Chain A
């Protein structure tokens, strides 16, 4: 299944601005993106970034073993949004480099734990995780009825000035 992800340049800038903010104890920030979804003519899936949802400072847990750990309140906040409206939920974070990022073993382990919770409120929608670098991103999408995630194969940033490195994982 071909999965495409589309985001406006303005929203992308807001995501990076949020993820760049220092936190009192967490080494990095995480957030969520809500996305619209649409079928493509070739059985593909189009994910459309709709809104960016920062994680509140107090929803981080002090855990020096990893860059950032967030508590259940952070997940409850975004799940409430998904409960109220039909959206796909994507957890996001960023690696501080340029070039196409890859999910770490911890990313993969943790995402298999929390992504199923997104399906509890929106079982009919795809959900997943995105990892950004400063000029690229990679994504994994869990599709209803499939146990293993599917990589996002195409990324489009809509707006003036298209950088050259936005690509696929």
Chain B
């Protein structure tokens, strides 16, 4: 094993190859996504598909790993900053950038080994999970929030690992039609929501651990939890108690006929792919 990876040799002799061949999708590249990109590069992931429609601004600098004041001044895209961050760690990584909405270039995500969702609304999470279920891709969702409470503020968050066939975000009650409807009703009224670097870092680290655990389990009994909740006031993480009620219950939301693959697939249109992308 290469000296570079000697301290993570417990991941197995093939870990360098497995992680080097992995293709990681990251949607949302600011708070959580920037940590995930950097850590994935450090751990040896060799291929990235990174999507964000935004550029860096001053309010991103306190939490976006790798961003610099001049990026905000020059309105550098978040994708460009992430590419630079990854290449600082792993210059040979293949970094594919989607500058815009991820679903506009969704074909590039179909071949991902895992996709991280670092988005800030339920509708986007719902879209990502639906996509991942259709193409049998593990989806790892990262989210945090800060709420005002009577004695100050409460920081909370979660990491959900949604695997095809396993409990989904609807099974967990994390996404419901009512939440989606309420979000749609309040669309545009929320404004900038509080975000800080350390909860993002905690949650992103757990998410990267989930991904590595899937690809290179380091313990025979390792079974990463489907939902880990973060109490940012007490600085603790724990498995969600919702899982007690879901044990061995199959997911009913993404099953049945025509649940996988392109529903309109035909060999005639197999090679009509998307082309607008920067590397």
Contact = CB atoms under 8 A, between A and B. Distances in A.
Q: Is B truly associated with A?
A: yes
Interface of A: 4, 6-11, 35-50, 85-86, 124-126, 143-145, 156, 158-162, 164
A43 B268 CA distance: 12
Given A41-B273, A144-B267, A160-B222, A35 B261 contact: yes
B174 to A, nearest CB: 20
Interface string B12-47: 101000100000000000000000000000000000
Given A6-B135, A161-B222, 15 more contacts: A36-B260, A36-B265, A38-B110, A38-B265, A39-B110, A41-B110, A44-B111, A50-B259, A86-B258, A124-B267, A156-B113, A158-B137, A159-B166, A161-B220, A162-B216
B209 interface: no
B252 to A, nearest CB: 15
Interface string B241-279: 000000000000000011111110111111111100000
A144 B137 CA distance: 26
A35 B270 CA distance: 16
A40 B111 contact: yes
B89 interface: no
A8 B265 contact: no
A126 B267 contact: yes
B124 interface: no
A50 B216 CA distance: 25
Contact of B135 (A48, A145, A161, A164): A48
Nearest to B113: A156
A160 B217 contact: yes
Nearest to B224: A160
Nearest to B274: A41
Contacts of B18: 162
Given A124-B267, A164-B14, A36 B261 contact: yes
A37 B265 contact: yes
Contact of B136 (A8, A41, A144): A8
A128 B136 CA distance: 20
B118 to A, nearest CB: 21
B179 interface: no
B218 to A, nearest CB: 11
Contact of A40 (B107, B134, B163, B164): B107
Interface string B151-187: 0000000000001111000000000000000000000
Interface string B201-227: 000000000000111110010111000
Contacts of B217: 160-162
Interface string B97-127: 0000000000110110100000000000000
A45 B110 contact: no
Given A43-B271, A48-B135, A158 B261 contact: no
A59 to B, nearest CB: 22
Nearest to A146: B267
A39 B269 CA distance: 8
A145 B270 contact: no
A104 B224 CA distance: 39
B261 A37 contact: yes
B199 interface: no
A40 B165 CA distance: 22
Given A38-B110, A39-B265, A161-B217, A50 B223 contact: no
Contact of A39 (B113, B137, B262): B262
Contact of B214 (A7, A11, A124, A162): A162
B82 to A, nearest CB: 19
B260 to A, nearest CB: 4
Given A4-B111, A44-B111, A162-B215, A38 B262 contact: yes
